[in-house]
Structure 1
């Protein structure tokens, strides 16, 4: 039998110990990375509200796409809650994985229903309505007196509601220029008022993480209504100084909330 010297035995021992330590540290590092580097959701679908169209999302779209997000903007027909949900679901069907669904104003009601889509990972409400099962939008709009600047008019003989042109700038987009507000007024969709009275059948925020932005200078959906809805649903709240169209006037601040939702912070 070959005799192994003490020196050779020690050398083998230290090589073995070094190998074991290397494997231990590699395992620790992999586990640490797994815990700290949660996968980031790259798909974002944006849903506009009443008295608006998808063009208002342009600034937010540019910020998010520059950060690597795949952004899709829904053009709601605004003919009914069911039709708007169908348009949103069509956009969600085309996503290649988990998606953050964002709704502004009436769009909040839309994402509350459409958010049940299996690809929706989280919901972001931007100065938005957030009804519960069996509730409709008008119930919440009536829980506080409207601001004097609010210019939502009664439906016409076709059942379509418009925003008073004389009040649109102050009531809808008070922190934008008059030129921007004039363009928004000219490009708004025809909103069929029946949508406000249609109840939610299944509120997605009951099952999925939700983030809510309160626009503190909002004259169309008063901030107290926003706070009450978000508090009731345990939505993570961020307050941003801005008008009802805070996503246009403060796109960087709004983008941070969407990015946080995508990282599941």
Structure 2
């Protein structure tokens, strides 16, 4: 008669090993970046490598900046590609976009970086009336019906605290914006239902810092104030990364 001791011992050992196996860590969310007007996906190049090194999947949306509908569609495609939980981070006009796209159930948090966070029914012009104007409008130039910023506008209003070589890159890579974006009327306000973080750029000459504070306050956002100009993620990338890390931590519990 064959002994059943050894097979039984092996089975018990395997069962014990499985019971002792650590619970796998939850999958990290995908960080999706949404750039603003007169920029492109490369405006996040100082924060993307660190996140990738930390094991995050990162998508930097390339907004066509032709209309709110087109830009929201681009972000929704990115959310679909992420195939899991998402943290949306929007800069400037990108905040308008993530407010529209952020009600997707896969989006676990919103991070606004010197960004528009509109209430339903608001537009960029109506929001801008809530604070003093900035010098940005005086630096618009038009070509074929699209708007870009002059070199002076980049240096004096948009990328004010970046070194000259980075200002030159910002000027060269800016995405022309359609006037249609300024006609966009907010249909959603995802910040009302999603955990929200907001970075105020205290020296911003594109969106007035007082308007940023107003939007952060009414969104009940966890707010960080950085002594930067409009392109906070290029001027102080480590501080921006810290805010994103907090958003991940607080929404992954």
Q: What range describes the TM-score normalised by the shorter chain of this pair?
A: 0.7 to 0.9
Which residue in 2 is equivalent to 1:104? Answer: 91
Q: 1:235 to 1:255 in 2, by over 3 A?
A: same
Which residue in 2 is equivalent to 1:19? Answer: none
Which residue in 2 is equivalent to 1:128? Answer: 115
CA distance in 2, matches of 1:164, 1:146: 18
Which residue in 1 is equivalent to 2:44? Answer: 57
Q: 1:180-225: per-residue Cα shift (whole Å, max 9, x none)?
A: 1111111111101221221111111111111000011111011110
Q: CA RMSD in A?
A: 2.1
Q: CA deviation at 1:144?
A: 2.2
Map 1:1-265 onto structure 2 (within 5 A): 41-148=28-135, 150-151=136-137, 153=139, 156=142, 158-264=144-250
Task: Identify unmatched segments of 5+ residues in structure 1.
Answer: 1-33
Return structure 1 stretches of 4+ with deviation > 3 angstroms.
38-41, 151-159
Task: Identify unmatched segments of 5+ residues in structure 2.
Answer: 1-22
Q: 1:108 to 1:119 in 2, by over 3 A?
A: same
Per the normalisation by structure 2, the TM-score is 0.85
Q: 1:40 to 1:249 in 2, by over 3 A?
A: farther
Q: Name the SS of the counterpart of 1:88 in structure 2.
A: helix
The number of residue pairs the alignment matches comes to 230
CA distance in 2, matches of 1:101, 1:167: 28
CA contact (8 A) 1:108 1:129 kept: yes
Q: Name the SS of the counterpart of 1:122 in structure 2.
A: strand
Larger radius of gyration: 1
